Structure 1
Amino acid sequence: MGEIDKRKRLSEEPFAFEVRKKGTVAIFFEGKQIKMIRDKEAERLIAKISKVENNITEVQLLLAKITGNFKHGNEKLGKNKSK
C-alpha cells in the first residue's frame, strides 16, 4: 500500500458507501454523494467489499478506484467556505 497511498489520505477514511433498497450503491466523499452505481457493477463492488471489509484501507482503495479521477483542483468552493 506504500506506493498507492503515499500521503496517507485513505487512512483518514474520506470515502463512504451506502447500499440502497434496490441494490444500488451510493458512494460519498467527505459526506457528499459523488457517484451512484447500479446493476452488475454494484453487485461486483458489494462482493469485493465483503471480501476485504475488515481492512479499512482496502475498502477505501476500492471506493477510490471505482469513483475514478473526479477531483481535478478546479472545484468551486461553497458560498460559506473561505478561500
Structure 2
Amino acid sequence: MPKGDIETYHQDGQWKNRREGTERPFAAGGTKKEAIAVGRAAAAEDRVEHIIKNMDGTIAERNSYGNDPRNVPG
C-alpha cells in the first residue's frame, strides 16, 4: 500500500509534519529547520515526495525521494 507524501507546515505556532490524507501530525515542535529534517527523513524512508510550506501555507519547496513521474528517463 503506497504511503502519502510528507508535508512540513506551520500551524498553531508550531512546525509540524503529517502524511498526505491525514489530519494528525506525526511530529510537532522545534524550528522549521528541525521539522524539515524530520520530514525529509520520513519522505526518504517512505520513498515519497516531501512538500515544505512557508508560514503562510504557500509551497516553498518540493523534493521527491521516490519514483518521480516527472523524471522519466528517455
Normalising to structure 1: TM-score of the pair?
A: 0.31
More helix by share: 1
- Report which of the two structures shows the higher radius of gyration computed on alpha carbons: 1
